[in-house]
Structure 1
């Protein structure tokens, strides 16, 4: 009986959050609190407008945690990672338990690339393959459902005003 109890006790000792929930940390063993939300619109090449309410991941701490440990993303929700200036975006799915579509958006508000149905919990790098101002994470399958494509326009306050 003692041999069976020893691994369990060792596991408890290695997981202080199990013994003291106050020591739990976002991104390590639980999601971060919901971030402030803002509107975002994606306009496809046929002129269809798709409205979203997205959480704004602006500071490095929030960006590092992102959607980790979130069981799902709302169909018209998501998280927008604002890099502040155009740069190569390198994402991963560490501690992210639901599949996502990652939409890489240029400073001008154009979709550069879409990585669809990313693999949960993967440490593989998902790159923008060019400089982007932001990365938008949506529920897996959203890009296919809405027929989103590179070149589609994204309206949100962080992007330069679109030219018409």
Structure 2
């Protein structure tokens, strides 16, 4: 998930913003703070809607990754992500987001979402187990991970609007 400099902490499938990692974690080196060997239990779910440019509404039930512990594990070790499921990483405030696919078994689409709820960037079909960083390329309030291929299947694009309470736009 989150890649840290010089062999430091990298999170499995889901990533946290490097800016949100504690300094001690970045300096620890030598592996993860806690070795994760299996998926975390399902997190609390909330409704999220993406409104595409043509006005189509796409509804999802997303797990809410809010705590650093949940964000660090994310969707690691999950064998599947349903077509209307996902995980929303709420960074709390706009910041750069850098994710990776360590210990992630399935490809994901990552939507980086600005504070106003607009899709800032989409990384499609990220590669399972890859340690290559997937960056937001600008400050974002949240990162949404969906099953790989969802953005193409639903014709999602940069600029589409995400309706969810964290953006002040309840669906």
TM-score, length-scaled by structure 2: 0.78
Aligned length in residues: 137
1:27 Cα deviation from its structure 2 partner = 6.3
The 8 Å contact of residues 72 and 98 in structure 1, kept in 2 or not, is answered as yes
Deviations 1:105-128 (A, max 9, x none): 000000000000000001110000
Bigger CA radius of gyration = 1
Q: Which runs of 5+ in 1 are unaligned?
A: 1-25
Q: Aligned match of 1:147 in 146, 149, 155? A: 155
Shift of 1:70: 0.1
Which residue is equivalent to 2:131? 123
Match of 1:29 among 33, 37, 58: 37
Which residue in the other structure is 2:122 paired with?
114
Q: Aligned pair 1:41/2:67, yes or no?
A: no
The aligned counterpart of 1:22 is none
Q: Which runs of 5+ in 2 are unaligned?
A: 1-33
Question: Structure 1 length normalisation: TM-score?
Answer: 0.81
Contact 1:103 1:136 in 2 (8 A): yes
CA RMSD of aligned residues (A): 1.3
* Pair 1:59-2:67 in alignment: yes
